[in-house]
Chains A and B, each alone.
Chain A
Amino acid sequence: MTGLARMAAALLRRMAALLPAGQREWAEAALAEAAQVPAGPRRLAWLAGGLWLAVRESRQELTLRAARPLAFAAAASVTAWAAWRGQPGGLADPAVAVNRADMVAMTVILTGLPWLVRRRRGPARGRAGQAWRAAGYAVILGLIAAKDLVERYAYAAPGMRWAQPLLWIGEPVFLLVMAGYAGMLLTMTSRRSRTPPASLAIGAGAGAAAGVLACVLGPLGAPFHIFGAGPAIRYDAALAAGAFLALAAPAAAAAAAARHSRRREPATDAAPAGVAAGAITGAAAALLTAATSTWMIAALPGHPRLLRWAAAHVGYYSIGGAPPHGLPDFAAGYSSYAAGYLLVLLLFPLLGTGLAAWPALLAAGPRRPGPGRPGRGGPSEQPPPAPPDAGRSRPPSPQHDLPGPAEPAAPREAGDLIPA
């Protein structure tokens, strides 16, 4: 076989591995058949036809596979640009060096984690899993970019020089927390995840609602300054209701997810499904609140009108009517305040889990006996069965240079369909 034909065969083998299971066998058939074609131009033409077949069949898959890394690369590039710029303060500003180290580490983490999770838990669980991953990565990258902008401003202030060493202490914690969020997102959306898709959807929805509520009632993480007894009372009532709803969100999500899980056949473990929904609610709310509020804080210094509005209406540091030279101090105050969202990111998932435990157990009710579920235990600890081949290519056969399939595919119809 010529070198060109070998290359074409190797390419066809790789492309066949990209195809979904149903179409892969056809590309493999063309590859296996190439061994029967006389060597030379005819075999090369045969393999070229096989490549054309694989391209035709894999167009959609290839587009999707290329689109995801490209989208991530674009988003990461924008974030890196935000982190790499030397303003303000230039390299003298310690936040610049921290942000650059942060960006390199985060790129390695966010790129390496999908590979690691894929090896252990399989690829993303369908289109929905890919969509959740894309949304989660977008929020994480947005939060990193906003945090970097805030740090540039906060630590450039002369009054904050004393706190500069804290940057190097806080940064690994932030990286670990972000890696935890990304890892949780990837694991829960993977094919062999034990988290039911419904728990993910319910938890993320409830968390997003709680996050939006928190941002509406207290942008910048602080309440509005309301003047006048009547509006103040109404706002306080809204705050109380909002706090109640935000705390109730994990419990409600847990109960809904546990009930949904109970109705499924075969029944899955309802209580863990509910607790997972509560944890996801807390995590989603924390991530969304931290990202939106940090972005708003990051926007304050560069947008005087927003800064004046926030100074007059939001927060404990409200300085309505203050002279313009007081506004940078206000912005710097909030910039240092943004570090508190690290605590939010750490504690909200735990809070969500805690608040979800009891409602999940109540909604799950007694375990239903069923086949393979004896008594109270049952095989609930068994992982779900491994899915069929997730697109990996089969090892080449040592007997020939053109690989054939390692196992015969199931026939479309059993036995000979037409009598001889």
Chain B
Amino acid sequence: MTGRRRFSPQALAVLAALCAAPGAWHHGYGIARDTGLSSGTLYPILIRLADRGLVAARWEDGQPAGRPRRHQYQLTPEGLAAARAALAGRPAPGPARAARHRAGPVGRPGLQEPS
């Protein structure tokens, strides 16, 4: 079911970044660097993906010296399947298609409390 969901180009970019190392926990800034997204775009996408159960989030263990603990993200099994399906069917990006995708389903971040 999740595989049939459409994603915006930005969400696909996030999924691709997470899919690159599916077993690893990723940080927000790392994902932003990989995708070129700003924090104001990245976090709403992560919220929506987490609300859908496609991404798991946690705070890193322990208190590292000299910096705050970071929030980490990883694809869930459902997220991995959905990401692979979406990325496999991803068409070559074109201007018209990219414009259509900008108003896609991940355009508005989830306002629901993540479960």
Report A's interface with B, CB cutoff 8 A: 20-23, 25-26, 28-33, 35-37, 45-53, 56-57, 60, 397, 399-400, 402-405, 408-413, 416-420
Contact = CB atoms under 8 A, between A and B. Distances in A.
A50 B40 contact: yes
Given A30-B39, A50-B43, A411-B56, A416 B111 contact: no
Contacts of B5: none
A388 to B, nearest CB: 12
A413 B56 contact: yes
B61 A408 contact: yes
Given A51-B40, A57-B47, A400-B67, 19 more contacts: A23-B47, A28-B71, A33-B71, A36-B27, A48-B39, A48-B40, A50-B39, A56-B109, A399-B63, A399-B65, A400-B66, A404-B68, A404-B69, A408-B58, A409-B58, A411-B56, A412-B50, A412-B115, A418-B76
Contact of B23 (A49, A397, A416): A416
Contact of A408 (B38, B56, B59): B59
B41 to A, nearest CB: 7
B71 A25 contact: yes
Interface in B73-115: 74-77, 80, 109, 111-115
B111 A409 contact: no
A205 B69 CA distance: 50
B70 interface: yes
Nearest to B28: A33
Interface string B42-59: 111011001000001111
DSSP class of A's interface residues: helix, strand, loop or mixed?
A: helix
Contacts of B69: 32, 404-405, 408
A49 B111 contact: no
Given A23-B47, A29-B28, A408-B61, A418 B75 contact: yes
A53 B114 contact: no
A412 B56 contact: yes
Contact of A35 (B38, B67, B77, B109): B67
B43 A418 contact: no
B66 A399 contact: yes
Contacts of A402: 67-68
B29 A36 contact: yes
B68 A32 contact: yes
B22 interface: yes
B74 to A, nearest CB: 6
Nearest to A50: B39
Nearest to A410: B58
Given A56-B109, A399-B65, A418-B74, A49 B40 contact: yes
A23 to B, nearest CB: 7
Contacts of B23: 416, 418-420
B46 to A, nearest CB: 7
Contact of A23 (B22, B66, B80, B113): B113
Closest 5 CB pairs between A and B?
A: A404-B68, A22-B113, A49-B39, A49-B40, A29-B71
A125 B32 CA distance: 39
A411 B55 CA distance: 11
A35 B68 contact: yes
A33 B77 CA distance: 25
